Amino acid sequence: MDKPELIRTTREAHQRMAGAIEHLPDERLLEPVMDNWTGKDLVAHMAWWHDHSVLVIECLRAGRQPYDVTDSANTTDALNERTHREHLDDPPELTRRAFNESFTRLLAALEPVTEEELFTVDRWPWLGGEALVETILWDSSRHYDAHREHLERLAR
C-alpha cells in the first residue's frame, strides 16, 4: 500500500458508509443497534475516531504526544464511553454531518504526511511499534467494517 492507495481505500470505504447512513431515516438511527448504543451513537463514535487520527497525525508531526496512553482515562474503552456520553443528545442530522466533516478533516490532515511518516514501523515511538497507517485504517475503513452490520440492521 502507498499513500494514494490509502487515500483511495479510505475514501471509497467512507463513501459506502456515508451512503448507507444517508439513506437511514432519523427515526431508524435512534434505534438501538449495539448494547445501549443507537445507530446515531455509532455514527458519532466513528466521527470521533476520524478526529482521533487527525489529532494523532498533527501531534506526532509537531513532535508531541497526542495524549498519555498510560492514563486509564485514555484506554480505548474509556475513550469510547466518554465519546458516547458526550454525544448522547446529538440529533441524527448532526452526527451525519460530523461523520462527513470529520472525514474531510482526516483527508486534510493526511495531505502533508509523507510516505515515510505513514508506513515506517517505529517511526513514531508513541505508536508502540506500529506504522501510522495502522491507526488511520483502524480509525476509518477497518472501523467501518467493524460496525457495518450494526448499521445494516437498521436498513431492513
Reading the block at residue 79, the C-alpha cell is 475513550
Q: How confident is the prediction for the chain on average, in pLDDT? A: 96
- What whole-number distance in Å separates Cα of residue 61 and Cα of residue 123? 11
Per-residue pLDDT band at 156 (split at 50, 70, 90): confident
- Would you kindly state where each structural domain of the chain is located, as residue ranges? 3-155
Widest CA span in the chain: 47
Burial 77-104 (b: 16+ CB within 10 A, else e): eebeeebbeebeebebeebbebbbebbe
Q: What is the CATH number of domain 3-155?
A: 1.20.120.450
Burial tier of 7 (Cβ tally within 10 Å: 0-12, 13-18, 19+): middle
- State pTM to two decimals: 0.95
> pLDDT, tens digit, for every residue of 77-135?
999 999 999 999 999 999 999 999 999 999 999 999 999 999 999 999 999 999 999 99
